[in-house]
């Protein structure tokens, strides 16, 4: 029995989950375009999808690899919690001794 809070480890189910997210976004976008078939709505949907992907990339890859390599995020709620408490956990960076004046 698999609990909903358990980490997903099966490669097959990870791919299935990604496919379902893609299918959900395509169907939602198409339903919006069916209701309002306009070029400006299509452009706004594409910008929204692109910006959301970039924000997700920033939240997980950029923060983890360039800002705070010691922290691993498991979801957007963890990222928000990290942002709210990042000043409390910040460790001062040690300067090299040959750079001091």
pLDDT 10s digits, 18-52 = 999 999 999 999 999 999 999 999 999 999 999 99
Q: Within a domain: residue 9?
A: no
Give, in order, the Cα–Cα distances in Å from 69 to each of 31, 58, 59, 90.
Answer: 40, 13, 13, 12
Provide mean pLDDT across the span 60-78: 80
Provide mean pLDDT across the span 60-88: 79
Which token pair is 96?
């090299």
Model confidence, pTM: 0.64
Q: Within a domain: residue 52?
A: yes
Q: Within a domain: residue 62?
A: yes
The pLDDT-based confidence of 95 (bands split at 50, 70, 90) is very low
Q: Model confidence over 51-63: pLDDT tens digits?
A: 999 988 888 888 8
Q: Check whether 9 has a pLDDT greater than 80.
A: yes
Total domains in the fold of the chain = 1
The pLDDT-based confidence of 4 (bands split at 50, 70, 90) is low
**Residue numbers of the domain that contains 20:** 14-90
């Amino acid at each position: 029995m698999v609990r909903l809070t358990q980490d997903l480890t099966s490669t097959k189910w990870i791919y299935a989950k990604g496919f379902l997210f893609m299918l959900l976004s395509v169907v939602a976008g198409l339903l919006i375009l069916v209701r309002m078939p306009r070029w400006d709505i299509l452009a706004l949907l594409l910008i929204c999808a692109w910006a959301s992907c970039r924000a997700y990339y920033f939240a997980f890859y950029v923060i983890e690899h360039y800002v705070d390599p010691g922290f691993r995020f498991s979801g957007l709620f963890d990222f928000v919690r990290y942002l709210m408490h990042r000043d409390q956990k910040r460790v001062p960076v040690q300067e090299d001794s040959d750079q001091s004046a």
